[in-house]
Amino acid sequence: MLAAPINPSDINMIQGNYGLLPKLPAVGGNEGVGQVVAVGGSVTGVKPGDWVIPANAGLGTWRTEAVFSEEAVISIPSDLPLQSAATLSVNPCTAYRMLMDFEQLQPGDCVIQNASNSGVGQAVIQIAAALGLRTINVVRDRPDFQKLTDRLKSLGAEHVLTEEELRKPEMKNFFKDMPPPRLALNCVGGKSSTELLRHLAPGGTMVTYGGMAKQPVIASVSQLIFKDLKLRGFWLSQWKQDHSPAQFKELILTLCGLISRGQLTAPACSEVPLQDYQRALEASMQPFVSSKQILTMC
Protein backbone atom coordinates (compact mmCIF):
# COMPACT_ATOMS: atom_id res chain seq x y z
CA MET A 1 0.00 0.00 0.00
CA LEU A 2 1.16 3.53 -0.80
CA ALA A 3 -1.59 5.74 0.65
CA ALA A 4 -5.17 5.46 1.94
CA PRO A 5 -7.63 8.16 3.08
CA ILE A 6 -9.95 8.23 6.07
CA ASN A 7 -13.53 8.71 4.83
CA PRO A 8 -16.72 9.18 6.91
CA SER A 9 -17.94 5.78 5.65
CA ASP A 10 -14.77 4.16 7.08
CA ILE A 11 -15.65 5.56 10.51
CA ASN A 12 -19.28 4.41 10.13
CA MET A 13 -18.07 0.90 9.25
CA ILE A 14 -15.90 0.76 12.39
CA GLN A 15 -18.87 2.00 14.45
CA GLY A 16 -20.97 -0.82 12.99
CA ASN A 17 -23.63 1.44 11.46
CA TYR A 18 -22.82 1.13 7.77
CA GLY A 19 -24.66 -0.81 5.05
CA LEU A 20 -21.72 -3.14 4.50
CA LEU A 21 -19.82 -4.65 7.42
CA PRO A 22 -16.74 -6.90 7.03
CA LYS A 23 -16.22 -10.13 8.96
CA LEU A 24 -14.21 -9.55 12.14
CA PRO A 25 -11.35 -9.28 12.80
CA ALA A 26 -11.00 -6.78 9.95
CA VAL A 27 -8.65 -4.10 8.63
CA GLY A 28 -10.13 -0.59 8.31
CA GLY A 29 -10.15 1.50 5.16
CA ASN A 30 -12.14 1.11 1.95
CA GLU A 31 -10.08 3.24 -0.41
CA GLY A 32 -6.45 3.77 -1.31
CA VAL A 33 -3.72 3.01 -3.82
CA GLY A 34 -1.08 0.30 -3.76
CA GLN A 35 1.80 -0.80 -5.96
CA VAL A 36 2.07 -4.42 -7.06
CA VAL A 37 5.36 -5.99 -5.90
CA ALA A 38 4.77 -9.60 -7.03
CA VAL A 39 2.13 -11.69 -8.84
CA GLY A 40 1.25 -15.38 -9.01
CA GLY A 41 2.04 -17.47 -12.07
CA SER A 42 -1.48 -17.41 -13.51
CA VAL A 43 -2.12 -13.67 -13.00
CA THR A 44 -2.53 -11.80 -16.30
CA GLY A 45 -4.38 -8.56 -15.42
CA VAL A 46 -1.68 -6.85 -13.35
CA LYS A 47 2.12 -6.91 -13.21
CA PRO A 48 4.80 -5.81 -10.73
CA GLY A 49 5.10 -2.03 -10.67
CA ASP A 50 1.42 -1.40 -11.51
CA TRP A 51 -0.62 0.96 -9.36
CA VAL A 52 -3.91 -0.58 -8.21
CA ILE A 53 -7.01 0.52 -6.29
CA PRO A 54 -9.71 -1.60 -4.59
CA ALA A 55 -12.46 -2.95 -6.84
CA ASN A 56 -14.90 -3.06 -3.91
CA ALA A 57 -15.39 -1.74 -0.38
CA GLY A 58 -14.22 -3.78 2.61
CA LEU A 59 -10.74 -4.57 1.28
CA GLY A 60 -8.97 -3.03 4.28
CA THR A 61 -6.53 -0.43 2.98
CA TRP A 62 -5.06 0.87 6.26
CA ARG A 63 -2.02 -1.43 6.18
CA THR A 64 1.44 -1.57 4.68
CA GLU A 65 1.17 -4.80 2.66
CA ALA A 66 -1.49 -7.28 1.57
CA VAL A 67 -2.11 -10.27 -0.68
CA PHE A 68 -5.22 -9.94 -2.88
CA SER A 69 -6.71 -11.78 -5.84
CA GLU A 70 -6.39 -9.89 -9.11
CA GLU A 71 -10.21 -9.53 -9.22
CA ALA A 72 -10.03 -7.51 -5.99
CA VAL A 73 -8.07 -4.65 -7.59
CA ILE A 74 -8.19 -2.39 -10.64
CA SER A 75 -5.02 -1.10 -12.28
CA ILE A 76 -4.75 2.65 -12.88
CA PRO A 77 -2.13 4.87 -14.59
CA SER A 78 0.90 5.17 -12.31
CA ASP A 79 1.54 8.78 -13.38
CA LEU A 80 -1.48 10.10 -11.46
CA PRO A 81 -0.72 12.33 -8.45
CA LEU A 82 -0.57 10.09 -5.35
CA GLN A 83 -3.38 11.94 -3.52
CA SER A 84 -5.64 11.74 -6.59
CA ALA A 85 -5.00 8.00 -6.94
CA ALA A 86 -5.60 7.36 -3.22
CA THR A 87 -8.96 9.21 -3.28
CA LEU A 88 -10.20 8.03 -6.69
CA SER A 89 -12.47 5.06 -6.06
CA VAL A 90 -15.15 6.45 -3.71
CA ASN A 91 -15.96 10.18 -3.76
CA PRO A 92 -15.30 11.06 -7.44
CA CYS A 93 -17.19 7.91 -8.53
CA THR A 94 -20.16 8.90 -6.36
CA ALA A 95 -20.09 12.47 -7.70
CA TYR A 96 -19.92 11.38 -11.36
CA ARG A 97 -22.71 8.81 -11.12
CA MET A 98 -25.08 11.20 -9.30
CA LEU A 99 -24.53 13.87 -11.97
CA MET A 100 -25.11 11.38 -14.80
CA ASP A 101 -27.74 8.90 -13.61
CA PHE A 102 -30.75 10.79 -12.21
CA GLU A 103 -31.51 13.75 -14.49
CA GLN A 104 -30.65 14.25 -18.17
CA LEU A 105 -28.67 17.44 -17.55
CA GLN A 106 -27.49 19.67 -20.39
CA PRO A 107 -24.70 22.30 -20.38
CA GLY A 108 -26.07 25.40 -18.64
CA ASP A 109 -28.35 23.40 -16.32
CA CYS A 110 -28.01 23.98 -12.59
CA VAL A 111 -27.19 21.64 -9.69
CA ILE A 112 -27.51 22.52 -5.98
CA GLN A 113 -25.70 20.62 -3.22
CA ASN A 114 -25.00 20.80 0.51
CA ALA A 115 -21.78 19.72 2.28
CA SER A 116 -20.06 21.28 -0.72
CA ASN A 117 -16.62 21.24 0.91
CA SER A 118 -16.75 17.45 1.45
CA GLY A 119 -14.77 15.09 -0.75
CA VAL A 120 -17.84 14.35 -2.87
CA GLY A 121 -18.80 18.03 -2.90
CA GLN A 122 -15.41 19.12 -4.25
CA ALA A 123 -15.59 16.39 -6.92
CA VAL A 124 -19.14 17.47 -7.89
CA ILE A 125 -17.95 21.06 -8.38
CA GLN A 126 -15.11 20.02 -10.69
CA ILE A 127 -16.95 17.35 -12.70
CA ALA A 128 -19.96 19.66 -13.12
CA ALA A 129 -17.67 22.42 -14.42
CA ALA A 130 -16.11 19.96 -16.89
CA LEU A 131 -19.64 19.05 -18.10
CA GLY A 132 -20.65 22.72 -18.45
CA LEU A 133 -23.10 22.58 -15.52
CA ARG A 134 -23.66 25.47 -13.12
CA THR A 135 -23.45 24.79 -9.36
CA ILE A 136 -24.96 26.33 -6.23
CA ASN A 137 -22.83 25.12 -3.33
CA VAL A 138 -24.16 25.29 0.22
CA VAL A 139 -21.89 25.05 3.29
CA ARG A 140 -22.28 25.67 7.01
CA ASP A 141 -21.32 29.14 8.18
CA ARG A 142 -17.83 29.19 9.69
CA PRO A 143 -15.09 31.64 10.73
CA ASP A 144 -13.08 31.12 7.52
CA PHE A 145 -16.10 31.25 5.17
CA GLN A 146 -14.43 33.64 2.69
CA LYS A 147 -11.32 31.48 2.49
CA LEU A 148 -13.46 28.39 1.83
CA THR A 149 -15.50 30.29 -0.78
CA ASP A 150 -12.33 31.30 -2.62
CA ARG A 151 -11.07 27.71 -2.62
CA LEU A 152 -14.34 26.23 -3.90
CA LYS A 153 -14.57 28.91 -6.62
CA SER A 154 -11.01 28.07 -7.67
CA LEU A 155 -12.29 24.52 -8.28
CA GLY A 156 -15.08 25.81 -10.52
CA ALA A 157 -17.94 26.60 -8.11
CA GLU A 158 -20.20 29.33 -9.49
CA HIS A 159 -21.99 30.23 -6.24
CA VAL A 160 -21.11 29.43 -2.61
CA LEU A 161 -23.79 30.14 0.02
CA THR A 162 -24.24 29.43 3.72
CA GLU A 163 -27.22 27.43 5.02
CA GLU A 164 -28.50 30.70 6.57
CA GLU A 165 -28.31 32.62 3.26
CA LEU A 166 -30.28 29.87 1.51
CA ARG A 167 -33.17 30.39 3.98
CA LYS A 168 -33.47 34.15 3.37
CA PRO A 169 -36.41 35.58 1.34
CA GLU A 170 -33.89 37.42 -0.89
CA MET A 171 -33.08 34.07 -2.52
CA LYS A 172 -36.06 34.74 -4.83
CA ASN A 173 -34.01 37.48 -6.51
CA PHE A 174 -31.03 35.12 -6.76
CA PHE A 175 -33.01 32.73 -8.95
CA LYS A 176 -33.96 35.49 -11.40
CA ASP A 177 -30.44 35.09 -12.82
CA MET A 178 -30.11 31.34 -12.32
CA PRO A 179 -32.27 28.54 -13.73
CA PRO A 180 -33.88 26.61 -10.85
CA PRO A 181 -31.81 23.48 -10.20
CA ARG A 182 -33.15 20.21 -11.59
CA LEU A 183 -30.84 18.13 -9.39
CA ALA A 184 -30.09 18.47 -5.67
CA LEU A 185 -27.40 16.39 -3.94
CA ASN A 186 -27.95 15.87 -0.21
CA CYS A 187 -25.31 14.61 2.21
CA VAL A 188 -26.74 16.21 5.35
CA GLY A 189 -30.48 15.60 5.87
CA GLY A 190 -32.65 17.56 8.33
CA LYS A 191 -33.31 21.26 7.69
CA SER A 192 -30.53 21.47 5.12
CA SER A 193 -32.21 18.94 2.82
CA THR A 194 -35.59 20.66 3.29
CA GLU A 195 -34.03 23.88 1.98
CA LEU A 196 -32.58 22.10 -1.06
CA LEU A 197 -36.03 20.74 -1.89
CA ARG A 198 -37.57 24.21 -1.59
CA HIS A 199 -35.37 25.52 -4.39
CA LEU A 200 -35.67 22.54 -6.77
CA ALA A 201 -37.34 23.02 -10.16
CA PRO A 202 -40.74 21.30 -10.63
CA GLY A 203 -40.18 17.63 -11.47
CA GLY A 204 -36.62 17.82 -10.11
CA THR A 205 -34.78 15.14 -8.15
CA MET A 206 -33.00 15.22 -4.80
CA VAL A 207 -30.47 12.43 -4.37
CA THR A 208 -29.43 11.59 -0.80
CA TYR A 209 -26.03 9.94 -0.38
CA GLY A 210 -25.20 10.78 3.24
CA GLY A 211 -26.73 11.93 6.52
CA MET A 212 -24.19 14.03 8.38
CA ALA A 213 -26.87 15.73 10.54
CA LYS A 214 -28.26 12.32 11.60
CA GLN A 215 -31.76 13.77 11.01
CA PRO A 216 -34.42 12.51 8.58
CA VAL A 217 -35.18 14.03 5.19
CA ILE A 218 -38.53 15.83 5.47
CA ALA A 219 -40.47 16.75 2.34
CA SER A 220 -43.76 18.66 2.49
CA VAL A 221 -46.83 17.11 0.92
CA SER A 222 -47.25 20.14 -1.35
CA GLN A 223 -43.73 19.70 -2.75
CA LEU A 224 -44.53 16.12 -3.70
CA ILE A 225 -48.00 16.85 -5.11
CA PHE A 226 -47.69 20.26 -6.74
CA LYS A 227 -44.01 20.18 -7.72
CA ASP A 228 -43.78 16.42 -8.32
CA LEU A 229 -40.34 16.32 -6.72
CA LYS A 230 -38.52 12.98 -6.67
CA LEU A 231 -36.55 11.69 -3.67
CA ARG A 232 -33.85 9.14 -4.51
CA GLY A 233 -30.86 7.58 -2.80
CA PHE A 234 -27.39 6.65 -4.03
CA TRP A 235 -24.87 4.18 -2.60
CA LEU A 236 -21.81 3.38 -4.70
CA SER A 237 -21.57 -0.18 -3.33
CA GLN A 238 -25.10 -0.86 -4.64
CA TRP A 239 -24.24 0.69 -8.01
CA LYS A 240 -21.27 -1.69 -8.27
CA GLN A 241 -23.49 -4.68 -7.47
CA ASP A 242 -25.86 -3.62 -10.26
CA HIS A 243 -23.08 -3.11 -12.82
CA SER A 244 -20.23 -5.22 -14.14
CA PRO A 245 -16.56 -4.86 -13.08
CA ALA A 246 -15.89 -3.68 -16.65
CA GLN A 247 -18.38 -0.82 -16.20
CA PHE A 248 -16.69 0.23 -12.94
CA LYS A 249 -13.29 0.11 -14.66
CA GLU A 250 -14.72 2.32 -17.45
CA LEU A 251 -15.91 4.80 -14.81
CA ILE A 252 -12.46 4.83 -13.18
CA LEU A 253 -10.73 5.44 -16.52
CA THR A 254 -13.17 8.29 -17.33
CA LEU A 255 -12.18 9.95 -14.05
CA CYS A 256 -8.47 9.30 -14.74
CA GLY A 257 -8.97 11.19 -18.01
CA LEU A 258 -10.40 14.18 -16.13
CA ILE A 259 -7.44 14.08 -13.71
CA SER A 260 -4.86 13.91 -16.50
CA ARG A 261 -6.53 16.89 -18.24
CA GLY A 262 -6.36 18.90 -15.01
CA GLN A 263 -10.17 18.99 -14.63
CA LEU A 264 -10.28 16.93 -11.41
CA THR A 265 -7.89 17.31 -8.49
CA ALA A 266 -7.81 15.55 -5.12
CA PRO A 267 -9.64 17.23 -2.22
CA ALA A 268 -7.52 19.23 0.19
CA CYS A 269 -5.47 16.57 2.01
CA SER A 270 -3.20 16.20 5.03
CA GLU A 271 -0.74 13.31 4.74
CA VAL A 272 -0.10 11.44 8.00
CA PRO A 273 2.28 8.46 8.44
CA LEU A 274 0.37 5.23 9.14
CA GLN A 275 1.94 4.85 12.60
CA ASP A 276 0.25 8.16 13.58
CA TYR A 277 -3.20 6.78 12.65
CA GLN A 278 -4.67 7.78 16.03
CA ARG A 279 -3.94 11.44 15.35
CA ALA A 280 -5.36 11.15 11.83
CA LEU A 281 -8.57 9.48 13.06
CA GLU A 282 -9.12 12.19 15.67
CA ALA A 283 -8.50 14.94 13.12
CA SER A 284 -10.91 13.34 10.64
CA MET A 285 -13.80 13.59 13.14
CA GLN A 286 -13.37 17.29 14.00
CA PRO A 287 -16.09 19.70 12.75
CA PHE A 288 -15.38 22.18 9.92
CA VAL A 289 -12.32 20.24 8.72
CA SER A 290 -11.95 20.80 4.99
CA SER A 291 -8.82 18.64 4.76
CA LYS A 292 -9.03 14.88 4.22
CA GLN A 293 -6.63 12.78 6.29
CA ILE A 294 -4.50 10.46 4.14
CA LEU A 295 -2.45 7.70 5.74
CA THR A 296 0.89 7.23 3.95
CA MET A 297 2.76 3.92 4.06
CA CYS A 298 5.92 4.74 2.11
**Residues forming the active site:** 18
- Give the C-alpha distances (Å, rounded to integers) separating 173 from 194, 200, 270: 20, 15, 39
Helix and strand element counts for the chain (H, E):
12, 12
Beta bridge partners of 215: 189
**Contacts for 159 with CB less than 8 Å, ≥ 6 apart:** 135, 136, 137, 174, 178
Measured distance CA(229)–CA(153) in Å, rounded? 29
Instruction: Name residue 162's beta-bridge partners.
Output: 139
Going from the C-alpha of 245 to that of each of 36, 117, 221, the distances in angstroms are 20, 30, 40
Question: Do 208 and 229 contact (CB within 8 A), yes or no?
Answer: no
Among 93, 94, 198, which residue's Cα sits nearest to residue 138? Answer: 198
Listing from the earlier edge strand, what are the strands of the sheet with 269-273?
A: 3-5, 292-296, 269-273
Residue 123: left if φ>0, alpha if ψ -120 to 50, beta else—which one?
alpha
